[in-house]
C-alpha cells in the first residue's frame, strides 16, 4: 500500500530469510520507493533487510538491495552492548554534532568490506561496534539504516520527529 514514511525495527530477518528473499516484488517495490525519496529509518534487522543479501550456511538470500552490504550470520554475537554515536555526517534525521545513546545486539557481520568503499555513514562510534570500521548509520537519500537501537524518547533522539515531519511533507504533496 501507499505509505509516506517507514520505520523498520529490529529483529532477526535471518529467521525468515527464505520467505523474505522469495518476496521479490515487495523488495523491488520498497527499493524503488526509497530511490524515489521515501523516508525510512531502519534499525538492526531493518539494516539487514535493506542490505544486498544474507549468507547462511553457504546460501545467499537476497534482501531488498538498497545498500550493498552482504551479511553473514555468525554463531556468536558480533555486536553486543551499549553504544554512543556521534553524528558527524549530513543526514535527514539527526543534526550534525548530536551525541546519541543506544544499544546493539546482533549476530550479523559484513563479509564484503572491500566492496563498501563508497558506503556513506553518518555516525562515529564512540562506544560499540557499528557497521564497519567503528562507523554506523548507512545513509542513502532519505534513508538511514543502523545497527544501533535507540529509545524514541531518549535525549538527542530526533529521528521519530524527523520521520513524521518528512511524512507530513509527502502527504501535503499528494493533496
Residue 86: active-site member: no
CA–CA dist 111, 55 (Å, integer): 9
Name the residue among 113, 26, 116 with its Cα closest to residue 72. Answer: 113
- H helices within 15-158, ranges in order? 17-22, 24-35, 45-49
Burial 47-78 (b: 16+ CB within 10 A, else e): bbbbbbbbbeeeeebbbbebbebbbbbeeeeb
In contact, 154 and 139? CB cutoff 8 Å = no
CA 113 remoteness from chain centre:
16
- Catalytic hit among 44, 73, 131, 145: 44
Q: Which residues are catalytic?
A: 44
Amino acid at each position: 500500500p501507499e505509505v509516506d514514511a517507514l520505520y523498520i525495527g529490529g529483529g532477526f530477518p535471518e529467521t525468515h530469510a527464505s520467505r523474505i528473499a522469495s518476496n521479490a516484488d515487495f523488495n523491488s517495490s520498497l527499493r524503488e520507493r526509497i530511490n524515489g525519496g521515501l523516508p525510512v529509518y531502519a534499525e538492526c534487522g531493518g539494516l539487514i533487510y535493506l542490505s544486498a543479501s544474507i549468507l547462511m550456511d553457504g546460501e545467499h538470500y537476497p534482501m531488498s538491495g538498497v545498500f550493498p552490504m552482504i551479511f553473514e550470520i555468525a554463531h556468536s554475537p558480533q555486536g553486543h552492548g551499549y553504544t554512543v554515536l556521534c553524528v558527524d555526517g549530513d543526514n535527514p534525521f539527526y543534526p550534525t554534532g548530536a551525541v546519541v545513546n543506544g544499544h546493539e545486539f546482533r549476530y550479523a557481520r559484513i563479509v564484503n568490506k572491500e566492496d563498501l568503499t563508497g558506503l556513506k555513514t553518518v555516525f562515529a562510534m564512540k562506544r560499540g561496534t557499528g557497521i564497519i570500521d567503528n562507523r554506523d548509520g548507512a545513509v542513502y537519500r532519505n534513508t538511514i539504516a543502523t545497527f544501533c537501537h535507540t529509545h524514541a524518547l531518549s535525549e538527542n533522539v530526533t529521528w521519530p520527529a524527523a520521520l513524521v515531519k518528512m511524512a507530513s511533507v509527502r502527504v501535503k504533496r499528494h493533496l
